[in-house]
Structure 1
Amino acid sequence: MATMMHIMSYLKSSRGRGLLFKKNGLLDHEGYTDADYPGNIIDRRSTSGYFTFVCSNLVMWCSKKQNIMSRSSVEFEYRGIAQGVCEILWLRWLLAKIGFRLDAATKLHCDSQSTFEIANNPVQHDRTKHVEVDQHFIKEKLGHKLISIPFVPSLEQLIDMLIHVVSKHRFEDSLDKLGITDIYAPT
Protein backbone atom coordinates (compact mmCIF):
# COMPACT_ATOMS: atom_id res chain seq x y z
CA MET A 1 0.00 0.00 0.00
CA ALA A 2 2.86 2.36 0.81
CA THR A 3 4.41 1.70 -2.62
CA MET A 4 1.09 2.36 -4.34
CA MET A 5 0.69 5.64 -2.46
CA HIS A 6 4.24 6.64 -3.45
CA ILE A 7 3.44 5.94 -7.14
CA MET A 8 0.13 7.82 -6.93
CA SER A 9 1.92 10.80 -5.35
CA TYR A 10 4.47 10.83 -8.19
CA LEU A 11 1.75 10.65 -10.85
CA LYS A 12 -0.22 13.47 -9.21
CA SER A 13 2.86 15.71 -9.11
CA SER A 14 3.80 15.07 -12.75
CA ARG A 15 0.56 15.63 -14.66
CA GLY A 16 2.21 17.52 -17.50
CA ARG A 17 4.76 14.83 -18.32
CA GLY A 18 4.54 13.00 -21.59
CA LEU A 19 6.48 11.74 -24.58
CA LEU A 20 7.53 14.40 -27.03
CA PHE A 21 8.13 13.04 -30.53
CA LYS A 22 10.56 15.10 -32.57
CA LYS A 23 10.93 15.02 -36.32
CA ASN A 24 14.29 13.60 -37.29
CA GLY A 25 15.52 13.12 -40.86
CA LEU A 26 17.38 9.90 -40.05
CA LEU A 27 15.67 6.53 -39.70
CA ASP A 28 17.90 5.33 -36.91
CA HIS A 29 16.70 2.58 -34.62
CA GLU A 30 18.25 1.25 -31.44
CA GLY A 31 17.36 -0.40 -28.19
CA TYR A 32 18.58 -0.77 -24.61
CA THR A 33 18.15 -3.95 -22.61
CA ASP A 34 19.07 -5.00 -19.11
CA ALA A 35 18.07 -7.40 -16.36
CA ASP A 36 18.53 -7.24 -12.61
CA TYR A 37 19.89 -9.81 -10.25
CA PRO A 38 17.04 -11.84 -8.68
CA GLY A 39 16.15 -9.39 -5.96
CA ASN A 40 12.76 -10.75 -4.94
CA ILE A 41 13.43 -13.01 -1.97
CA ILE A 42 10.08 -14.79 -2.37
CA ASP A 43 10.43 -16.23 -5.89
CA ARG A 44 14.06 -15.29 -6.85
CA ARG A 45 13.07 -14.28 -10.37
CA SER A 46 14.83 -11.54 -12.30
CA THR A 47 13.21 -8.50 -13.86
CA SER A 48 14.22 -7.64 -17.40
CA GLY A 49 13.31 -4.70 -19.57
CA TYR A 50 13.99 -2.84 -22.77
CA PHE A 51 13.54 0.53 -24.46
CA THR A 52 13.34 0.84 -28.25
CA PHE A 53 13.86 4.07 -30.18
CA VAL A 54 13.02 4.97 -33.80
CA CYS A 55 14.30 8.30 -35.14
CA SER A 56 15.59 8.99 -31.61
CA ASN A 57 12.00 8.79 -30.27
CA LEU A 58 10.94 6.25 -27.66
CA VAL A 59 8.37 3.94 -29.25
CA MET A 60 8.39 0.74 -27.14
CA TRP A 61 9.26 -0.09 -23.56
CA CYS A 62 8.66 -2.95 -21.21
CA SER A 63 9.70 -4.16 -17.80
CA LYS A 64 8.57 -7.55 -16.59
CA LYS A 65 9.50 -10.36 -14.30
CA GLN A 66 11.06 -13.34 -16.11
CA ASN A 67 8.97 -16.53 -16.23
CA ILE A 68 11.65 -18.86 -14.87
CA MET A 69 14.44 -18.65 -12.35
CA SER A 70 17.89 -18.10 -13.77
CA ARG A 71 20.91 -19.99 -12.52
CA SER A 72 23.48 -17.33 -13.33
CA SER A 73 23.80 -13.62 -14.04
CA VAL A 74 24.65 -14.39 -17.67
CA GLU A 75 21.45 -16.40 -18.01
CA PHE A 76 19.10 -13.65 -16.84
CA GLU A 77 20.99 -11.01 -18.84
CA TYR A 78 20.86 -13.23 -21.94
CA ARG A 79 17.13 -13.84 -21.49
CA GLY A 80 16.68 -10.06 -21.35
CA ILE A 81 18.64 -9.63 -24.58
CA ALA A 82 16.61 -12.38 -26.29
CA GLN A 83 13.40 -10.59 -25.29
CA GLY A 84 14.78 -7.30 -26.63
CA VAL A 85 15.82 -8.97 -29.90
CA CYS A 86 12.29 -10.36 -30.38
CA GLU A 87 10.81 -6.88 -29.98
CA ILE A 88 13.37 -5.35 -32.35
CA LEU A 89 12.62 -7.99 -34.98
CA TRP A 90 8.91 -7.23 -34.68
CA LEU A 91 9.60 -3.49 -35.00
CA ARG A 92 11.83 -4.03 -38.04
CA TRP A 93 9.07 -6.12 -39.64
CA LEU A 94 6.49 -3.42 -38.88
CA LEU A 95 8.67 -0.63 -40.29
CA ALA A 96 9.29 -2.68 -43.45
CA LYS A 97 5.52 -3.27 -43.83
CA ILE A 98 4.81 0.46 -43.79
CA GLY A 99 7.53 1.17 -46.34
CA PHE A 100 10.71 1.98 -44.44
CA ARG A 101 13.85 0.24 -45.66
CA LEU A 102 16.25 -0.67 -42.88
CA ASP A 103 19.74 -1.32 -44.19
CA ALA A 104 21.74 -1.08 -40.99
CA ALA A 105 21.65 -3.48 -38.06
CA THR A 106 19.63 -2.33 -35.06
CA LYS A 107 21.87 -1.63 -32.07
CA LEU A 108 20.75 -3.32 -28.86
CA HIS A 109 22.83 -1.79 -26.06
CA CYS A 110 23.84 -4.10 -23.21
CA ASP A 111 25.78 -3.28 -20.04
CA SER A 112 26.84 -6.83 -19.13
CA GLN A 113 30.42 -7.44 -20.21
CA SER A 114 30.13 -11.24 -20.02
CA THR A 115 26.87 -11.30 -22.00
CA PHE A 116 28.38 -8.94 -24.58
CA GLU A 117 31.40 -11.22 -25.01
CA ILE A 118 29.30 -14.39 -25.32
CA ALA A 119 27.00 -12.77 -27.90
CA ASN A 120 29.93 -11.60 -30.02
CA ASN A 121 31.97 -14.82 -29.70
CA PRO A 122 31.36 -17.32 -32.52
CA VAL A 123 32.41 -20.31 -30.38
CA GLN A 124 29.96 -21.89 -27.94
CA HIS A 125 31.40 -22.98 -24.62
CA ASP A 126 30.20 -25.64 -22.18
CA ARG A 127 29.68 -22.89 -19.62
CA THR A 128 26.85 -21.46 -21.74
CA LYS A 129 24.69 -24.58 -22.15
CA HIS A 130 21.98 -23.15 -19.90
CA VAL A 131 21.43 -20.31 -22.41
CA GLU A 132 22.00 -22.41 -25.53
CA VAL A 133 18.65 -21.76 -27.25
CA ASP A 134 18.81 -18.00 -26.65
CA GLN A 135 22.45 -18.01 -27.71
CA HIS A 136 21.71 -19.68 -31.07
CA PHE A 137 18.76 -17.34 -31.66
CA ILE A 138 20.84 -14.23 -30.97
CA LYS A 139 23.86 -15.46 -32.96
CA GLU A 140 21.60 -16.13 -35.96
CA LYS A 141 20.28 -12.55 -35.88
CA LEU A 142 23.81 -11.19 -35.45
CA GLY A 143 24.94 -13.31 -38.42
CA HIS A 144 22.15 -11.95 -40.62
CA LYS A 145 23.16 -8.41 -39.56
CA LEU A 146 19.68 -7.64 -38.25
CA ILE A 147 21.06 -6.60 -34.87
CA SER A 148 24.35 -5.62 -33.29
CA ILE A 149 25.06 -5.69 -29.58
CA PRO A 150 27.36 -2.85 -28.56
CA PHE A 151 28.50 -2.56 -24.95
CA VAL A 152 27.27 0.44 -23.00
CA PRO A 153 28.61 1.39 -19.54
CA SER A 154 26.12 0.90 -16.71
CA LEU A 155 25.92 4.63 -16.00
CA GLU A 156 24.68 5.21 -19.57
CA GLN A 157 22.17 2.34 -19.48
CA LEU A 158 18.72 3.96 -19.80
CA ILE A 159 16.67 0.89 -18.91
CA ASP A 160 17.97 0.85 -15.32
CA MET A 161 15.18 3.21 -14.25
CA LEU A 162 12.60 0.46 -14.94
CA ILE A 163 14.36 -2.43 -13.22
CA HIS A 164 16.57 -0.90 -10.51
CA VAL A 165 16.22 1.74 -7.86
CA VAL A 166 18.06 4.82 -9.19
CA SER A 167 18.79 8.20 -7.66
CA LYS A 168 16.47 11.13 -8.32
CA HIS A 169 19.16 12.87 -10.38
CA ARG A 170 19.71 9.79 -12.56
CA PHE A 171 15.95 9.31 -12.90
CA GLU A 172 15.45 12.91 -14.09
CA ASP A 173 18.42 12.61 -16.46
CA SER A 174 16.97 9.40 -17.91
CA LEU A 175 13.58 11.07 -18.46
CA ASP A 176 15.28 13.77 -20.53
CA LYS A 177 17.12 11.18 -22.64
CA LEU A 178 13.87 9.28 -23.20
CA GLY A 179 12.15 12.40 -24.52
CA ILE A 180 9.75 12.65 -21.59
CA THR A 181 9.09 16.33 -20.97
CA ASP A 182 6.84 18.42 -18.77
CA ILE A 183 4.60 20.67 -20.90
CA TYR A 184 4.03 22.94 -17.90
CA ALA A 185 7.72 23.48 -17.20
CA PRO A 186 9.03 26.97 -18.00
CA THR A 187 11.11 27.13 -21.18
Structure 2
Amino acid sequence: MRRYDFNQSNADHTLFLKHQQGKVTSPIIYVDDMIITGDDTKEISRLQEQLAVEFEMKKLDGLKFFLGIEVTRSQREILLSQRKYVLTYWAEVGLLDCNPPDTPIVQNHKLSQHTNQVPTDKGRYKKLVGKLIYLLCTRPDIAYVVSVVSQFIHNPSEEHMDVVKQILRYLKASPGKGLMFSKNNHLNVEGYTDADWAWNVLDRKSTSRYFTFVEGI
Protein backbone atom coordinates (compact mmCIF):
# COMPACT_ATOMS: atom_id res chain seq x y z
CA MET A 1 0.00 0.00 0.00
CA ARG A 2 2.87 2.37 0.70
CA ARG A 3 4.30 1.58 -2.71
CA TYR A 4 1.03 2.81 -4.18
CA ASP A 5 1.45 6.11 -2.22
CA PHE A 6 -1.02 5.30 0.54
CA ASN A 7 -0.37 6.54 4.09
CA GLN A 8 -0.90 4.16 6.99
CA SER A 9 -3.12 5.50 9.77
CA ASN A 10 -1.55 5.92 13.20
CA ALA A 11 -4.93 5.31 14.85
CA ASP A 12 -5.54 1.98 13.08
CA HIS A 13 -2.69 0.26 11.26
CA THR A 14 -5.12 -1.68 9.05
CA LEU A 15 -6.40 1.60 7.57
CA PHE A 16 -4.69 3.37 4.66
CA LEU A 17 -5.47 6.79 3.15
CA LYS A 18 -4.65 8.55 -0.08
CA HIS A 19 -5.57 12.18 -0.73
CA GLN A 20 -5.30 13.73 -4.15
CA GLN A 21 -7.09 16.57 -5.92
CA GLY A 22 -9.45 17.07 -3.01
CA LYS A 23 -10.62 13.45 -3.04
CA VAL A 24 -9.83 10.52 -0.75
CA THR A 25 -9.42 6.76 -1.20
CA SER A 26 -9.43 4.57 1.88
CA PRO A 27 -8.81 0.80 1.97
CA ILE A 28 -8.98 -1.11 5.26
CA ILE A 29 -7.41 -4.57 5.36
CA TYR A 30 -7.80 -7.47 7.78
CA VAL A 31 -5.79 -10.57 6.79
CA ASP A 32 -7.37 -11.47 3.40
CA ASP A 33 -10.50 -9.30 3.66
CA MET A 34 -10.58 -5.73 2.37
CA ILE A 35 -12.95 -2.78 2.14
CA ILE A 36 -12.19 0.01 -0.32
CA THR A 37 -14.17 3.22 -0.01
CA GLY A 38 -13.86 6.89 -0.87
CA ASP A 39 -15.04 9.45 -3.39
CA ASP A 40 -12.25 8.97 -5.96
CA THR A 41 -13.72 6.33 -8.27
CA LYS A 42 -10.77 6.41 -10.67
CA GLU A 43 -8.25 5.76 -7.88
CA ILE A 44 -10.41 2.94 -6.47
CA SER A 45 -10.47 1.23 -9.88
CA ARG A 46 -6.71 1.75 -10.29
CA LEU A 47 -6.02 0.25 -6.85
CA GLN A 48 -8.14 -2.82 -7.62
CA GLU A 49 -6.22 -3.35 -10.88
CA GLN A 50 -2.85 -2.98 -9.14
CA LEU A 51 -3.74 -5.45 -6.41
CA ALA A 52 -5.13 -7.95 -8.93
CA VAL A 53 -1.70 -8.13 -10.55
CA GLU A 54 -0.10 -9.36 -7.31
CA PHE A 55 -2.95 -11.22 -5.61
CA GLU A 56 -5.89 -13.39 -6.51
CA MET A 57 -8.79 -11.01 -6.04
CA LYS A 58 -12.54 -11.50 -5.91
CA LYS A 59 -14.35 -8.27 -6.68
CA LEU A 60 -17.70 -8.01 -4.94
CA ASP A 61 -20.43 -5.39 -5.17
CA GLY A 62 -21.47 -3.01 -2.40
CA LEU A 63 -20.40 -3.93 1.13
CA LYS A 64 -22.81 -6.35 2.83
CA PHE A 65 -20.72 -8.33 5.32
CA PHE A 66 -17.31 -7.81 6.94
CA LEU A 67 -15.81 -9.64 9.94
CA GLY A 68 -19.20 -10.63 11.33
CA ILE A 69 -20.72 -7.17 10.79
CA GLU A 70 -23.70 -6.97 8.45
CA VAL A 71 -24.24 -3.81 6.40
CA THR A 72 -27.72 -2.77 5.24
CA ARG A 73 -28.17 0.45 3.31
CA SER A 74 -30.73 2.70 1.71
CA GLN A 75 -30.39 6.06 -0.01
CA ARG A 76 -30.44 7.89 3.34
CA GLU A 77 -29.29 5.35 5.93
CA ILE A 78 -26.67 2.71 6.66
CA LEU A 79 -27.24 0.12 9.40
CA LEU A 80 -24.40 -1.90 10.93
CA SER A 81 -25.50 -4.95 12.91
CA GLN A 82 -24.26 -8.37 14.04
CA ARG A 83 -27.51 -10.32 13.81
CA LYS A 84 -25.98 -13.51 12.42
CA TYR A 85 -23.24 -13.36 15.07
CA VAL A 86 -25.86 -13.10 17.84
CA LEU A 87 -27.95 -15.98 16.48
CA THR A 88 -24.88 -18.22 16.25
CA TYR A 89 -23.96 -17.19 19.79
CA TRP A 90 -27.36 -18.27 21.15
CA ALA A 91 -27.13 -21.63 19.41
CA GLU A 92 -23.79 -22.27 21.15
CA VAL A 93 -25.14 -21.55 24.65
CA GLY A 94 -28.58 -23.10 24.16
CA LEU A 95 -30.70 -19.98 24.74
CA LEU A 96 -32.75 -19.97 21.53
CA ASP A 97 -36.00 -20.64 23.46
CA CYS A 98 -35.42 -18.17 26.32
CA ASN A 99 -37.61 -15.19 27.25
CA PRO A 100 -35.79 -11.84 26.97
CA PRO A 101 -35.70 -9.47 29.98
CA ASP A 102 -36.23 -5.71 29.61
CA THR A 103 -32.69 -4.80 30.70
CA PRO A 104 -29.26 -6.49 30.39
CA ILE A 105 -28.67 -6.14 34.17
CA VAL A 106 -30.88 -5.36 37.14
CA GLN A 107 -31.05 -1.71 38.16
CA ASN A 108 -28.80 -0.63 41.04
CA HIS A 109 -27.00 -3.95 41.03
CA LYS A 110 -24.30 -4.66 43.64
CA LEU A 111 -22.21 -7.11 41.66
CA SER A 112 -18.95 -7.81 43.49
CA GLN A 113 -16.68 -10.59 44.73
CA HIS A 114 -17.18 -12.47 48.00
CA THR A 115 -15.10 -14.94 49.99
CA ASN A 116 -17.96 -17.45 50.03
CA GLN A 117 -18.99 -17.06 46.37
CA VAL A 118 -19.81 -20.19 44.35
CA PRO A 119 -17.23 -20.52 41.53
CA THR A 120 -18.22 -21.13 37.92
CA ASP A 121 -16.45 -22.54 34.86
CA LYS A 122 -13.71 -19.95 34.32
CA GLY A 123 -12.94 -20.99 30.74
CA ARG A 124 -16.58 -20.84 29.64
CA TYR A 125 -17.10 -17.51 31.38
CA LYS A 126 -14.05 -16.02 29.67
CA LYS A 127 -15.22 -17.26 26.26
CA LEU A 128 -18.74 -15.86 26.68
CA VAL A 129 -17.50 -12.45 27.86
CA GLY A 130 -14.96 -12.33 25.03
CA LYS A 131 -17.72 -12.79 22.47
CA LEU A 132 -19.78 -10.08 24.14
CA ILE A 133 -16.83 -7.70 23.90
CA TYR A 134 -16.69 -8.20 20.12
CA LEU A 135 -20.43 -7.54 19.96
CA LEU A 136 -19.79 -4.03 21.30
CA CYS A 137 -18.78 -3.03 17.76
CA THR A 138 -22.47 -2.48 17.00
CA ARG A 139 -24.22 -2.73 20.41
CA PRO A 140 -23.23 0.21 22.64
CA ASP A 141 -26.40 -0.42 24.70
CA ILE A 142 -24.62 -3.31 26.46
CA ALA A 143 -21.26 -1.54 26.85
CA TYR A 144 -21.73 -0.80 30.55
CA VAL A 145 -22.85 -4.26 31.65
CA VAL A 146 -20.12 -5.95 29.59
CA SER A 147 -17.53 -3.74 31.32
CA VAL A 148 -18.97 -4.90 34.65
CA VAL A 149 -18.80 -8.65 33.95
CA SER A 150 -15.31 -8.20 32.45
CA GLN A 151 -14.02 -7.13 35.88
CA PHE A 152 -14.52 -10.66 37.23
CA ILE A 153 -13.03 -12.63 34.35
CA HIS A 154 -10.15 -13.97 36.51
CA ASN A 155 -12.36 -15.16 39.38
CA PRO A 156 -15.98 -15.53 38.19
CA SER A 157 -18.82 -16.87 40.29
CA GLU A 158 -22.25 -18.29 39.51
CA GLU A 159 -23.67 -14.84 40.29
CA HIS A 160 -21.47 -13.29 37.61
CA MET A 161 -22.41 -16.04 35.16
CA ASP A 162 -26.11 -15.34 35.76
CA VAL A 163 -25.56 -11.73 34.64
CA VAL A 164 -23.78 -12.91 31.48
CA LYS A 165 -26.76 -15.15 30.70
CA GLN A 166 -29.12 -12.22 31.32
CA ILE A 167 -27.19 -10.17 28.74
CA LEU A 168 -27.60 -13.01 26.25
CA ARG A 169 -31.34 -13.25 26.94
CA TYR A 170 -31.66 -9.47 26.60
CA LEU A 171 -30.12 -9.61 23.12
CA LYS A 172 -32.90 -11.94 21.94
CA ALA A 173 -35.43 -9.08 21.99
CA SER A 174 -33.62 -7.34 19.12
CA PRO A 175 -30.81 -9.39 17.54
CA GLY A 176 -30.73 -7.07 14.52
CA LYS A 177 -30.30 -3.86 16.51
CA GLY A 178 -27.16 -1.95 15.59
CA LEU A 179 -25.68 1.40 14.63
CA MET A 180 -27.73 3.56 12.29
CA PHE A 181 -25.97 6.24 10.27
CA SER A 182 -28.44 8.67 8.71
CA LYS A 183 -27.88 11.40 6.14
CA ASN A 184 -28.81 14.78 7.60
CA ASN A 185 -28.52 18.36 6.44
CA HIS A 186 -25.93 19.46 8.99
CA LEU A 187 -22.53 18.48 10.38
CA ASN A 188 -23.18 19.24 14.05
CA VAL A 189 -21.30 17.23 16.68
CA GLU A 190 -23.08 16.80 20.02
CA GLY A 191 -21.68 15.12 23.13
CA TYR A 192 -23.21 14.08 26.44
CA THR A 193 -21.50 12.65 29.51
CA ASP A 194 -22.34 11.51 33.03
CA ALA A 195 -20.74 9.64 35.95
CA ASP A 196 -22.08 7.67 38.92
CA TRP A 197 -19.77 9.25 41.52
CA ALA A 198 -17.84 6.41 43.22
CA TRP A 199 -20.65 3.85 43.03
CA ASN A 200 -18.34 0.88 42.43
CA VAL A 201 -18.53 -1.34 45.53
CA LEU A 202 -15.06 -2.82 44.91
CA ASP A 203 -12.80 0.21 44.55
CA ARG A 204 -15.17 3.21 44.97
CA LYS A 205 -14.25 4.48 41.51
CA SER A 206 -16.70 6.30 39.28
CA THR A 207 -17.99 4.90 36.03
CA SER A 208 -18.25 7.48 33.27
CA ARG A 209 -20.64 7.28 30.35
CA TYR A 210 -20.66 9.32 27.17
CA PHE A 211 -22.50 9.62 23.88
CA THR A 212 -21.27 11.46 20.80
CA PHE A 213 -23.55 12.18 17.86
CA VAL A 214 -22.24 13.36 14.49
CA GLU A 215 -24.83 14.88 12.14
CA GLY A 216 -27.64 14.32 14.61
CA ILE A 217 -29.20 11.28 16.23
Tell me the TM-score normalized by structure 1. Answer: 0.29
Q: Determine which structure has greater relative contact order: mean sequence separation of CA pairs < 8 Å that are 6+ residues apart, divided by chain length.
A: 1
Question: Which structure has the bigger radius of gyration?
Answer: 2
More strand by share: 2
Tell me the TM-score normalized by structure 2. Answer: 0.25
